[in-house]
Structure 1
Amino acid sequence: MKFTLSWLRDHLDTTCSLHEIADTLTRIGLEVEEVTNPAEALAPFRVAEVLSAERHPQADKLQVLSVDAGEGPVQVVCGAPNARAGMKGVFGPPGAYVPGSDLTLKVAAIRGVESRGMMCSVRELQLGEEHDGIIELAVDAPVGSSFARYAGLDDPVFDVALTPNRPDCLGVRGIARDLAAAGLGTLREQPVRPVAARFPNPIAIRVEEGSGCEAFAGRLIRGVRNGASPEWLKRRLIAVGLRPISALVDITNFFSLDQARPLHVYDAAKLKGAVVARRARNGERFLALNDKEYAVTGEDCVIADEQAVLGLGGVMGGAETGVSERTTELLLECAWFDPERIGATGRRHTITSDARARFERGVDPTALEAMTEAATAMIVELCGGEASEVAVATTERWREVVAPRTVRFRPDRTADLAGLDLPASEQTNILQRLGFEVTGDGVLPPGWRPDIDGEADLVEEVARIHGFDGIPSSPLPRPAGVARPTATAAQRLERRVRRAAAANGLVEAITWSFVSEAEAAPFGPDQQEAAWIVANPISEELKVMRPSLLPGLLAAARRNLDRGATSVRLFEIGRRYLADAERPTLGIVLAGEAAPRRWQHGKAQPFTPFDVKAEVLALLEAAGAPVSNLQVFPDAGPTWHPGRSATVRLGPKAVLAAFGELHPRLARQFDVPAGTQAAELFLDAIPAPRGATRTRPAFTPPTLQPVTRDFAFIVPDELAADALVRAVRGAEKALIVGARVFDRYQPEGGQLSLAVEVVLQPTERTLTDDEIAAVSARIVSAAEKLGARLRG
């Protein structure tokens, strides 16, 4: 919610400073996100007088002006057709930044004539869309003075973040009321003076039961002139980010921001018969004010005449009956819509509008006729014309909507719920300043506070106006003894692998959980994984809940490489969103150059699948997976390079991780170097260690020296090294505690040789040569069963 300081002071009589107002707003729960002043951007621009204007010697459409901005004559080349001697305008000196043109002025030669600044138009200073000529000021404008101060633009703008339960503060009036209740001034009275009805309303207004519209006030105003809005209204709308359109449209926008009351105006000449609020019928469509066509459903509330749908009630009006500069008769709509129906309709059609934001939170139903009169008065004042009688149509439920609601209130509950011991009189005074009516032990909330539902809500109002900072601090009671751990097994697992990944030199990244459809497509078509489509996305680039962590990590790797990084080692722990559930996952990306693998190489080498495999196995071990029992299966799927990827499994079906080199097609899509390595560890698939406890077992190192033996086998080309290692380890489970391939050799045209290091660990006594020979024989026998033989 944005508003200016002068706008606030229209409602609040206060002498408090800008900082006092901002601090108080945040203190009472209306968080101020930003306070800006447009005058700061326009500080260099001055009121200037054109002393002379002569034709440019080299261009018929340019003039050479002599301009006085308070420091003597300055030569300016100008192409505005309205520039002439004697007029006063706005001058920007060299060094000034022109926001509408996104340029910084400097001394320059234009067609051979030096220009030392610029005479500015409305659009160049972002004060409107006019660009036919330079700004023309009144003849009494003081030369050399600040243009922003002269034009009344020195008006700070507040940007306040509101919680969804405060629909009243979507209007400046509601914010002023809260500040007045907090002691920052007095709320100004704004009595509504009824506009005399000159004739009966010729347009029938009807509301159907169950439509979602519970009340509709309509008033015809004829003889209007829909021109440009006055400058004060334009400035206010521009200051809060709205574009002035026409007086009638600007008035409806003003009431939406000023009173949190959305209104709508129809060109009465375009209406056909009665206007009715009803449920939509299948097949009906309408062109909205945002130039999009919508097919309405039977769950939507629409405003229609006897021929067509005019708009989605409370969400967006239609373009066909919108007012224009030719409008001379209009129908003013001031209605009340069911908040739940409005919210559902907006979400269904993915429409976000100021009207929807207010109606779905709940506008004041008791101010229907008062707002109709106030809007009529402004329309007649600014556009002329005369008004009809007000036609009001309501449903049976309307009586319930406007019926007074009494909420029980006991002042002693404030101490129980909020920890504030305040006198009952002070609490009553706070509620009354907020517009509540206190009667005995009951409170009647005003119509603009639909969020007040129970006693706790009243306590909250008292506490926030008194000040949350006034609540005394008191520690929560703590039971005796040492606190028990509260982390779940899944949380402890994530903590272990996070620490292990960081200790291994990987850098943690946190990326978006949303990706584009193009980024999600390569990671989920086989299992329909990319199934979580956001109905109302922030943007098309953030439309799908990620089926993999790799898109975000690859994008992060690309950004780092683009900025000169030579080696990128990233990991992330997060969720993948699959068709059946969310899956906790750890993703890894290695891109660029790895550190030298051996001291004698002397230079960095590209990452290989074995680098990422080592990371995967280390993290699985840290997670408690039985690494010695894991199997590596080649080819991890279409995401990965064929022949340079694999999955790590516990048995044929339990996949714990996938790793390897990215498919070249995928590397090109994400613009990362060919040979980029990646992995995903599926944390929910890792089995919990058997007999796991919260305490770490005592360290018990072996008491006897281990024995190491090397074996070199001639193996078939198709034999996986992992299969050979597993066979060797299984040859003597009681003694063999480790086995690894440490060399691979294959001469050109010759047979493949794999060298395996085996570690024997005796536990009771030192092994004899005969016992070691017996174990070696069993190892050779196990390898021979796979087609391998000991190399001679």
Structure 2
Amino acid sequence: MLISLNWLNEYIEIKDKSISELENALTMIGQEVEKIEKKYEHLNKVLTAKIVEYEKMPESDHLTVLKVDNGKETLQVICGAPNHKKGDIVAMAQIGATLGEDFVIKKGKIRGYESNGMLCSMSELGIGEESDGIIIFPEDTQLGVPLNKLLDKDDVVFELEITPNRPDCLSYIGIARELSAYYNIPLKEIKKDVSEIDKKNDTEIKIDSSELSHRFITRIIEGVEVKKSPEWLSKKLEAIGMKSVNNIVDASNYILMELGQPNHVYDLDKIDKNISVKYATKGQKINTLDDKSLELDTDDIIVSSNGNAIALAGVMGSKDYSVTNETKNIMLEVAHFDSMSVRKTSRKYNIISESSYRFERRVDEDNFNTVIDRLANIIVEISGGKVLKGIKDTTLVNDKLNSSELSFERLNRFVGKLIEKERVIEILKSLEIEVEDKGESLILTPPSFRQDLLDEQDYFEEIIRIYGFANIENVLPKLDIKKEEIVDTTKLDYFVKNICYSLGLNEVINYSFIPKNAYEMIKREYKNIIEISNPITEDFAVMRDTLMYSLLKNAKDNFNRSFKDIRFFELSKVFNNENGNNNETKKLGVILAGAKEKTIHNKETSYDFYDIKGIMEEVAEKLSLNSYRILRSENMSFHPGRSIDVLMGKDVIASLGEVHPDLLENFNLEGKSILYFEFDLDKAKKYMKNKFVYNKISKYQSVNRDLAVVVNKGVLVGDVVKQVERIDKLVKKVELFDIYEGEGIESGKKSFAINILMRDDNKTLEEKEINAVMDKIVKKLEKDYLAKIR
């Protein structure tokens, strides 16, 4: 947000404040100053000067040798412009002046003639359009005056970083209000009176649903004259980098920046007076003001007239219905549009406008009448015209702001200092907060533009920032400290992370906030979800209760950057609201996606179910979770038949498998092989008994044996593997490496092969011991699973 100090002074008298003092004040009240630019500072070395001698340069058809009086001295200057003569008052850049970004004026020679400066055009000074000649001032202009003084371009522009929860500060009035409270200086009145004629505003407005818009109002002005803006208006917009278009468009932009409310002006003779707010039809076309031709989707909100899209709601108007030099009659619009829809449409078509930026952060619907009257007032002042009687207003939703109780006892405990009651009330009222004194407490109602004030803690922050952090002494808190038993959560986190590192996984860290539609995207029920009451953006609308959405988004982003082998894990808290209580749980999420490293045959292979299952088994083994059971998973996020749940006791401690193809389409990951594993550490912890087992590395050689068997198709291979692992203490690890159905295998059967690793930690195994274990395994499989050895 760019704030011109000259413009800001029209709302609050702060001319006596230094730049550094204002910078500190803005920072202290929470409006961080990113940059300060002394606008047109370079013009202080460009002076008015008079050409006192004029001579054509020999052997040149365009250069002149001039003597120029700058009020202090007469200097020789060479000029190539065609439009000057003796006696003209011109703009002379002195030696040392900087024009543009890095063009420094130096003493030089041109064809042997010395030049001690430069006569400048408007474009060379950065204050006007390209022209063929230099600036010529009226003949009574005083000599030696710096141009920033002469042209009233001595200004300072602050670039502020406005936090997303303070959309009210995306305006001059908003910043003036903040400084008014801080300095205790009253705001100046703004003129918004409108003189109406008897002819009625006969527009009709229909809003299809409150999900699209809460409120939409219009005014009509007839007989305007579209022309160049007055200098005071174009100068204000120019100071903050906005290009002047014409007086009507400039007035609209002026009100946008002054009051922070997006608005729009239509050529009334190009539209029907029956206006509707609705969803676009598939393929409906609009030509936007920035010369883009768009085909719209059914989730785009439009302002419609006679079946045509006259604006992409909250984003940009249509060029076909815009104000031109021929426009005589206009309709003014001030409206609310759904912030999530505006953001989605804005990003979809890559149109980020000043209006969309504000609609995304919510607008003050109670201020609409003031905005449209102020806009009408300015337009009539600079373009003439008559305002028709009445504001047409369609309102579907009247949001009521909730009151909160503030306890003085809690406030002083929070601050660590007694702030006088009178001062607290004074601060709150200066912020336009409605105050009802209840003795030991206050009942507070926020103004309509402060939707971020929701509870007592919010008001504590408001009081402190205006009271001043510097006025609160640093004191140690008085706490009753008692010895608590230290839990091993941190140790467990490090242990689990080290397991993941050893498996070649890369750690990612994501925000705990995700959008509401994330659950639809991952095919999960939207149940017991904690919603954020005042989210920074719609992408941070809820607290996640799974890591799946975040890791799939990581995978998508990395595929878009041409990464092929994705092995990520995240260890983080997730959140839910079960039985009316807010809960947090520590979970591990692992995602494998894309192609593995090339094999010895130089072929890339995709990750499969057994890769993710191997990671689960490694984690379980390292955490001494050896007595788990495996069941088919009913989780809708996974491919049916290619996913499992892992149970300890009655608890599902993990789910893993191949991500469902329908789900992958929601992330534009069609055709990718993506495996996911989510492990609930908090549920598993009670089965670990808070112990971590570090096994001594055996010095005796291990022995591997392969075993292939045929079983009924319905047998869970995972169960078989677990049975083999538990059959004898010499069996240290069992790995599945092949599974097959088809030719050579009886119908209704399947074949699988496992590798069995055996080792005695105290001696070298003998062949008869190995054979005895293998016989044991075979008999167990034949008995329990009717297995046949291949």
TM-score by length of 1: 0.62
In structure 2, the partner of 1:44 is 45
- 8 Å CA contact 1:211–1:301 kept in 2: the answer is no
Q: How big is the shift at 1:270?
A: 2.4
In structure 2, the partner of 1:120 is 120
Q: Is 2:284 aligned against 1:284?
A: yes
In structure 1, the partner of 2:738 is none
- 8 Å CA contact 1:29–1:464 kept in 2: the answer is yes
- 8 Å CA contact 2:401–2:451 kept in 1: the answer is no
Mapped to 1, the partners of 2:499 and 2:282 lie a distance apart of 56
Q: How big is the shift at 1:265?
A: 1.2
Aligned match of 1:429 in 419, 426, 429?
426
Mapped to 2, the partners of 1:394 and 1:73 lie a distance apart of 68
Q: Is 2:560 aligned against 1:544?
A: yes
- What secondary structure does 1:12 align onto? coil
Q: 1:331 to 1:76 in 2, by over 3 A?
A: farther
Q: How big is the shift at 1:287?
A: 1.2
In structure 2, the partner of 1:34 is 35
Which runs of 5 or more residues in structure 1 are unaligned? 499-509, 514-528, 551-571, 586-630, 640-648, 657-683, 703-762, 765-792
In structure 1, the partner of 2:331 is 331
- What secondary structure does 2:75 align onto? strand
Which runs of 5 or more residues in structure 2 are unaligned? 502-507, 512-549, 572-587, 619-677, 680-687, 700-760, 763-790
- What secondary structure does 1:244 align onto? coil
Higher mean displacement: 482-491 or 171-180: 482-491
Q: 1:256 to 1:206 in 2, by over 3 A?
A: same
In structure 2, the partner of 1:22 is 23
Mapped to 1, the partners of 2:344 and 2:61 lie a distance apart of 60
- What secondary structure does 1:448 align onto? coil
Aligned sequence identity (%): 29
Matches within 5 A, 1:451-530: 451-471=452-472, 472-475=474-477, 479-480=482-483, 487=490, 491=494
Q: How big is the shift at 1:117?
A: 2.4
Query: Aligned partner of 2:248: which letter?
Result: L
- What secondary structure does 1:11 align onto? coil
Mapped to 1, the partners of 2:279 and 2:175 lie a distance apart of 35
Q: How big is the shift at 1:198?
A: 5.8
- 8 Å CA contact 1:192–1:374 kept in 2: the answer is yes
Mapped to 2, the partners of 1:16 and 1:423 lie a distance apart of 27
In structure 2, the partner of 1:181 is 181
- What secondary structure does 1:123 align onto? coil
Q: How big is the shift at 1:354?
A: 0.9
Q: Deviations over 1:79-113 (max 9, x none)?
A: 4343333332322234432117x533334455665
Q: 1:574 to 1:139 in 2, by over 3 A?
A: farther
- 8 Å CA contact 1:407–1:443 kept in 2: the answer is yes
- What secondary structure does 2:352 align onto? coil
- 8 Å CA contact 2:215–2:393 kept in 1: the answer is yes
Mapped to 2, the partners of 1:693 and 1:584 lie a distance apart of 29
In structure 1, the partner of 2:97 is 96
Query: Aligned partner of 1:346: which letter?
Result: S
In structure 2, the partner of 1:602 is none
In structure 1, the partner of 2:389 is 389
In structure 1, the partner of 2:106 is 106
Matches within 5 A, 1:361-380: 361-380=361-380
Q: Is 2:164 aligned against 1:148?
A: no
Q: How big is the shift at 1:355?
A: 0.7
Mapped to 2, the partners of 1:463 and 1:495 lie a distance apart of 44
In structure 1, the partner of 2:133 is 133
Q: 1:316 to 1:107 in 2, by over 3 A?
A: same
Q: Deviations over 1:382-418 (max 9, x none)?
A: 2222222244131332xx23x5643344333423555
TM-score by length of 2: 0.62
Mapped to 1, the partners of 2:509 and 2:132 lie a distance apart of 47
Q: 1:543 to 1:419 in 2, by over 3 A?
A: farther
In structure 2, the partner of 1:664 is none
- 8 Å CA contact 2:568–2:590 kept in 1: the answer is no
Q: How big is the shift at 1:489?
A: 5.2
Matches within 5 A, 1:66-77: 66-77=67-78
- 8 Å CA contact 1:181–1:465 kept in 2: the answer is yes
Q: Is 2:436 aligned against 1:439?
A: yes
Q: 1:494 to 1:573 in 2, by over 3 A?
A: farther
Q: How big is the shift at 1:214?
A: 2.8
Higher mean displacement: 200-209 or 85-94: 200-209
Q: 1:144 to 1:308 in 2, by over 3 A?
A: same
Query: Aligned partner of 1:414: which letter?
Result: L
Q: How big is the shift at 1:583?
A: 5.9
Q: How big is the shift at 1:310?
A: 0.8
- 8 Å CA contact 2:42–2:97 kept in 1: the answer is no
Higher mean displacement: 425-434 or 384-393: 384-393
Query: Aligned partner of 1:172: which letter?
Result: Y
Q: Deviations over 1:362-388 (max 9, x none)?
A: 222222122211111111212222222
Aligned length: 581
Matches within 5 A, 1:686-697: none
Q: How big is the shift at 1:334?
A: 1.9
Mapped to 2, the partners of 1:256 and 1:121 lie a distance apart of 32
- 8 Å CA contact 1:252–1:264 kept in 2: the answer is yes
Matches within 5 A, 1:283-682: 283-397=283-397, 400-401=398-399, 403=400, 405-440=402-437, 441-471=442-472, 472-475=474-477, 479-480=482-483, 487=490, 491=494, 532=553, 544=560, 547=563, 634=600
- 8 Å CA contact 1:282–1:297 kept in 2: the answer is yes
Mapped to 1, the partners of 2:299 and 2:116 lie a distance apart of 63
Query: Aligned partner of 2:404: which letter?
Result: V
Mapped to 2, the partners of 1:512 and 1:71 lie a distance apart of 65
Q: Is 2:195 aligned against 1:195?
A: yes
Q: 1:443 to 1:481 in 2, by over 3 A?
A: closer
Q: 1:653 to 1:484 in 2, by over 3 A?
A: closer
In structure 2, the partner of 1:251 is 251
Instruction: Say what the alpha-carbon RMSD is for the aligned residues.
Output: 5.1
